[in-house]
Every structure is written in C-alpha cells, then in structure tokens.
Homo-oligomer: A and B are copies of this chain.
Amino acid sequence: MSKDKGYITPSVPQGMIELLPKEQILFNKMMDTIKNTYELFGFIPLDTPVMEKAEVLLAKSGGDTEKQVYRFYKGDNELALRFDLTVPLARFVAQHHGELTFPFRRYHIGKVYRGERPQKGRFREFYQCDIDIIGNEALSIINDAEIPSIIYKTFKALGFESFTIHINNRKILNGIFECLNICNKVEVMRIVDKIDKIGQEAIKECLEEIGVDREAINILLDIITFKGSNTEIIDNIEKSGLRNPTLEEGIFELKEVINYIGSFEVPKENYVVDLKIARGLDYYTGTVYETILNDYPSIGSVCSGGRYDNLAQNYTDKKLPGVGISIGLSRLFYQLTTGNIINTDGPATPTKLLIIPMNDSMDYAMGIATKMRNAQIATEIYLNDGKIGKKMSYADKTGIPYVIVIGENEKNTGRFSLKNMLTGIQTDTDADGIISVIKSGLEE
C-alpha cells in the first residue's frame, strides 16, 4: 500500500507495456493487417495456452532462454509461460499429429513472455506474429522461396516502401566451416552473425580468440562479405574452390530460393543474398531470413526466420521439417512510434458517429442510434446529463469524426446538421443521408 491515503499505487509490473486507446487502435490495425496477409497466403489460425507444463516447454531450451522463463508452481504442477510460439507449435503438432493435414500451414499471433533485463524497446510481455509451414517427413525447398513473398506482401500492406529481405543458407556457412576445418561451428556462427553490428575487424579478433586460424578467417570473410549481384555472390563461393557436400547442398538450395522468389513477383530491390546472416538460434538448419527497413537499419531485423530440419524432435519420432518467420510486433510498434516513423495521429476511436441528445429527445435519439447501428455505423449516444458545451467538448476529445445534436427541431423534422469534426463542415440531411455520407467517408 502506498503511504498516502491507503491507496495502492496503480501500475504495471516492470517491463510490461500497455497502450492508450489511440495507440491501441493503431496497434490493432497493424495486427489485423498482418493477420489478413497471413490468411491471404493460405495459413490457418492457431491459439495455444500461454502456460505450458515446464518439462514440456523447457525440453530443449537452455542458456539465456531458460533464465528468462517465467516458471512457477500451481499446486503440484510446475508451469512455465511460453517464451516464443515455436515450441508450443512443436508440442501442438506432435500432440495432434494424426488430426492435422500436412503440409500444416499455421499462423499464430499471441503474447509471449521473457523476463529480460528492462531496456528501451524490450518488453517482458510482447506480441509475436508467426507463420510456419510444417511438412510430414519432407518439405520442398520451394516453400523457402514462398516465405519472402509473404514478408514482402506483409510489409507492403503495413505501408512500408523501402525494405530488404536478407537471405542466406546455413549449410553454406557450415560447409565453409567444414572446408576450413573450423570445428566449433555453433560458436563461430554466433560470432559471424554479429558482423554487421560490430564490424569485420572485431569479428576477426573474436574468431582468433577462440582459436580459428587467421588464414581461414580471411577466406571466410572474403566469401561472406563479397559484393555483387545475388548470382555473383553465389558464383563467388564456387570460385573460391571450397567444396564439400554440405556447401553444395546449401548453394543448390539458395539458388532454388532465389530462382523461385522472382516467380512470386517479389521485386529485385526487396531481397538480397547475404552470406553474413546466420541467426543466433541453433535450430535453423538451412535457409535463414532477416528483414531490414532500409531507412532505419538501426532497428535491426523486423522479421526473421528460417528453415529447421526437425521441429518436434523432443516430443515425437516423426520427422517434421519446417520453415517459418516471426514479427516481434510490440517491439516494432515501439520503434515505429517512438521514432516517429509512423504517424500516431489517427482516430482515437473506431466510433464514427456521436449522437448528442438534448433534454426531451432522448427516446428519439436512441431510435436514430439504433438505425445507425443497424446500418453498420459505429455509433455512440451521449447518455449523460450536462450542458451542451460539456457535450460538445466531449465530441472534440473523443475524436469521433461525425457528430449530430438532436433536439426538439430535429425530432420534429427528421433532419439533422451532420458535423464533420475534422473539416468543421456541416451537412443538412436526414437519417439515410447521414448513413450515406459516413459510408462514403469510410470507403475513402
């Protein structure tokens, strides 16, 4: 209890975010756009419990994730809050394998939880918007080529003009490592992944520190930092003379992906082969993606993902290869709004019409409100007493775009002065006129 007056200070836990109506409406709009685009590409919705059995959720993970997980007992049950949407998907597909049709294309938009150190733009509860395509035993590489077209459509639909999807294949990096006798692959992969953040020289030092031969480092960096067209970058790997099955498989897959992306009509300027990206997560085994907003590279990747060989290996002996991506919407939204990258001056409400009844016209006003709602126009009727001035200032504050005042005169004539609160223009019309004016406004 706070000392003063015995009231408990209302606040949310550290690291949690919540939005005021104006931002919430914008956030929901982005979420709907993502949902609709995902459905446009033939994905079906999934919703799993936020809580999982701890032993199930933490079957695989370790390290940082493990530390960040919200984990607790309720009675005898040890529970944990999901830290991503992929592990619950793995559990779901293994559990319901016989009831699903493969390839299983699902989208999932939901909250996940990580007890991260509080910092700008990092939240302990945040939304992820995921799609994954899960194959039964096998999944064609062409699926890896469709993913960038989904990323492209999604970010176009979100209103972004200039962004680039960076594409790589981990088999290429692993293949190169093998050719160069680099043994601690995972570690090297993680270091290489940092190259755009910390630069080549720093990478060299890190790699030398963990004992990678200088010669090898130079060959590696020459290949992955080579500048050229997508085809040139890939050809350059082959030119390097390095060869082994892993590398060749990676090159073949990357060529397939690049080849088919065009058929999905993703413009050339929106994707690029980038041998430098690896994605930190261990479970990617082939294609990997990152998406950069070209005008705001500092934000980092706004949509990432990749291919994994075996989604549910902790839960079943069935081989379930998959490919997927994730958008961390809460973080993206925070970056876009605090960076003034998107305009938050949208409507503060989805309501379109405010009806202000004067003293004796309440009944009549309710009838008009009902007529508007039956016409699918989101309508609020101001039901509280008070002077007209107070009522009009309410109209201003709510940001409802259209207002009518209903008094004796309107009641008797059935005609209203429909005020557009943005332009100030008033239109004299009847109920049907109001409907058509607002509907036409909605179409714009």
Using a CB–CB distance below 8 Å, which chain A residues touch chain B? 1, 5, 7-14, 16-21, 24-25, 27-28, 39-53, 55-56, 59, 70, 72-75, 77, 79, 90-92, 94-96, 99-101, 103, 105-106, 111, 113, 115, 125, 135, 138-140, 142-143, 146, 149, 153, 260, 263-265, 312, 314-317, 348-351, 354, 362-363, 366-367, 369-370, 373, 376-381, 383-385, 394, 397-398, 400
Indicate which residue in B21, B56, B125 contacts A44 across the interface (CB closer than 8 Å): B21
Interface pairs (20), CB distance under 8 Å: A7-B317, A9-B315, A11-B56, A11-B95, A12-B48, A13-B51, A20-B99, A25-B45, A28-B45, A28-B47, A40-B378, A40-B379, A42-B354, A42-B381, A44-B349, A49-B125, A70-B72, A105-B380, A140-B383, A260-B362
Give the docked Cα–Cα distance between A90 and B354 (Å).
Answer: 25
Known A-B contacts A72-B72, A74-B70, A394-B101; A379 and B41 likewise in contact (beta carbons under 8 Å): yes
Closest to A80 in B: B13
Cβ contacts under 8 Å, A100 to chain B: 20-21
Cβ contacts under 8 Å, A317 to chain B: 5, 7
Give the docked Cα–Cα distance between A79 and B15 (Å).
Answer: 12
Cβ contacts under 8 Å, A10 to chain B: 56, 90-92, 94-95, 312, 315-316
Give the docked Cα–Cα distance between A70 and B72 (Å).
Answer: 9
Most B CB contacts (10 A, CB to CB) among A13, A41, A125, A139 go to A13
CB pair A50–B366 under 8 Å, yes or no, is: no
Cβ contacts under 8 Å, A260 to chain B: 362-363, 366
Cβ contacts under 8 Å, A378 to chain B: 39-42
Known A-B contacts A92-B18, A146-B381, A384-B135; A376 and B40 likewise in contact (beta carbons under 8 Å): yes
Cβ contacts under 8 Å, A379 to chain B: 40-42
Give the docked Cα–Cα distance between A316 and B146 (Å).
Answer: 53
Cβ contacts under 8 Å, A40 to chain B: 373, 376-379
Known A-B contacts A20-B99, A75-B115; A264 and B370 likewise in contact (beta carbons under 8 Å): yes
- A16: shortest Cβ distance to chain B, in Å? 4
Closest to A364 in B: B263
CB pair B373–A115 under 8 Å, yes or no, is: no
Give the docked Cα–Cα distance between A384 and B12 (Å).
Answer: 47
Cβ contacts under 8 Å, A13 to chain B: 49, 51-53, 77, 79
